[in-house]
Amino acid sequence: MSGGLKIKLALLDNIIWLMLFLFFSACALGIPAFASWNNIVNILYHTTIMSMLVLAQGFVLVSGNLDLSIDAVLAFAPGVVVLASTKWFPETLSSPYLAILLTLSLGGVIGYFNGFCVAKLGMNAFMQTLSLSIILRGMVLFLIPLSIFPLDPVYSFIGKARFPALGNLPAAIPVTFCIYLLFHILLKHTVFGRNYLATGGNARASFVAGIDTGKMVIVGFVIAGLLSAVAGMLTAGRQDSVSNTMGTGMTLLAFAGALLGGTSMSGGKGSAFGMLGGAILLGMFSNALNLLGVKVTLIHAAQGTLIFLAILMDRFRVSLRGRLLREEQLRKLNQA
């Protein structure tokens, strides 16, 4: 393969970062104070929660499934745990470390339930996670009529704490980046990751090739549950409370972020690096609209437009990639 083609293909595969760069440059030129340290930190901080959900959704999409319950888990896991440690069993569950552990476990268990239903009972992922999402959201509304506050500082640390020594950097940002790095390595460099991608690409072929595809699907949902619980702790920490409206409506935006980042809806394709780009672009976009003074009520429609453009561009990207490869093949043939 020629060097020029390699660079072109690399650019096409990471087109989300190119878009991000162009969008950032345009905003930096057009909007005063956009490129300031404070605003950049602000964008990243506001993106952390969505980033977790994008990663959760993207990860499940890679295995060829989808999860509609992530925003309900975001509210349910920390909600129930905080309720238990403050109202139900204040004596036994007072330790905030235990609470963190319980929140993560609850997210994981819910994910396992989803995965079990899909992989072992053969339920449709859309229907299963939709029903669970309605159940969990309903339970949250029932259990937490108003919000519960304040939270233990240890519990709210990852969502709220800032490091004054590092220019007031919120802890949530390095936490998010570390998790993304972890998942990048997991998908790209581990045997599990490769088998996981293969399962999404062609489950039947992977099964025939000796991969435990049922386990792959379950692990995918467990991880989505875990990440949603982390997103829940970030949200609870930031507002220093748990409330019943946390995360409402974020599931579908998480799809958008994952798709913007090059994840395939039909499975088998996606990278953590791309998903991060998708999540940040979503955050940067709404930040720019805010700074431009666009009405809050209009932001939703604008985000929808962005998603539409992203899908359109993805089609363009796929056909351009195919054409480049075909041209290369023709060139090779002519040389021979």
Contacting range for another protein; rule: CB under 8 A; set: 140-148, 266-274, 285-293, 305-313:
266-274
The torsion region of residue 167 among left (phi > 0), alpha (psi -120 to 50) and beta comes to left
Q: Are 232 and 103 in contact (CB under 8 A)?
A: yes
Contacting range for another protein; rule: CB under 8 A; set: 89-97, 201-209, 225-233, 281-289:
201-209
Contacting range for another protein; rule: CB under 8 A; set: 124-132, 172-180, 197-205, 226-234:
197-205
Q: Is 334 in the site for another protein (CB under 8 A)?
A: no
Q: Is 264 in the site for another protein (CB under 8 A)?
A: yes
Hey, CA dihedral for 318, 270, 169, 148, is it positive or negative? positive
Minimum distance, C-beta of residue 274 to another protein, in the bound complex (Å): 14
Q: Are 61 and 123 in contact (CB under 8 A)?
A: no
> Can the peptide bond before residue 150 be classed as cis, meaning omega within 30 degrees of 0?
yes
- The DSSP-derived string for 100-113 is HHHHHHHHHHHHHH
For residue 42, the Cα-to-chain-centroid distance in whole angstroms is: 18
Which of 181/309 has CB closer to another protein? Answer: 181
Q: Is 159 in the site for another protein (CB under 8 A)?
A: no
Which of 185/292 has CB closer to another protein? Answer: 185
Which of 204/295 has CB closer to another protein? Answer: 204
Which of 96/201 has CB closer to another protein? Answer: 201
Which of 156/195 has CB closer to another protein? Answer: 195
Q: Is 3 in the site for another protein (CB under 8 A)?
A: no
The phi and psi torsions of 101 (rounded to 5 degrees) equal: -60, -45
- The DSSP-derived string for 71-87 is HHHHHHHHHHHHHIIII
Minimum distance, C-beta of residue 12 to another protein, in the bound complex (Å): 13
Q: Is 13 in the site for another protein (CB under 8 A)?
A: no
Per DSSP, the three-state class of 146 is coil
Answer for which of 33, 146, 191, 296 binds another protein (CB under 8 A) is: 191
State the Cα torsion 190-194-200-202 to the nearest 10°.
Answer: -160
Contacting range for another protein; rule: CB under 8 A; set: 107-115, 144-152, 245-253, 264-272:
264-272
Angle between helices 125-143 and 70-83 (to 10 degrees): 30
Size of the site for another protein (CB under 8 A): 31
Q: Is 206 in the site for another protein (CB under 8 A)?
A: yes
Residues 6+ apart with CB under 8 A from 46: 283, 286, 287
Answer for which of 43, 70, 81, 197 binds another protein (CB under 8 A) is: 197
DSSP state of 249: T
Contacting range for another protein; rule: CB under 8 A; set: 50-58, 77-85, 261-269, 287-295:
261-269
Which of 212/240 has CB closer to another protein? Answer: 212
Burial 258-271 (b: 16+ CB within 10 A, else e): bbbbbbbeebbebb
Minimum distance, C-beta of residue 332 to another protein, in the bound complex (Å): 5
Cα separation, 185 vs 119, in Å, equals: 25
Per DSSP, the three-state class of 95 is coil
Cα separation, 93 vs 102, in Å, equals: 10
Per-residue x/- mask for another protein, residues 268 to 307, rule CB under 8 A?
Answer: xx--------------------------------------
Per-residue x/- mask for another protein, residues 82 to 121, rule CB under 8 A?
Answer: ----------------------------------------
Binding site for another protein (CB under 8 A): 1, 185, 189-192, 194-195, 197-198, 200-202, 204-212, 264, 267-269, 322, 325, 328-329, 332
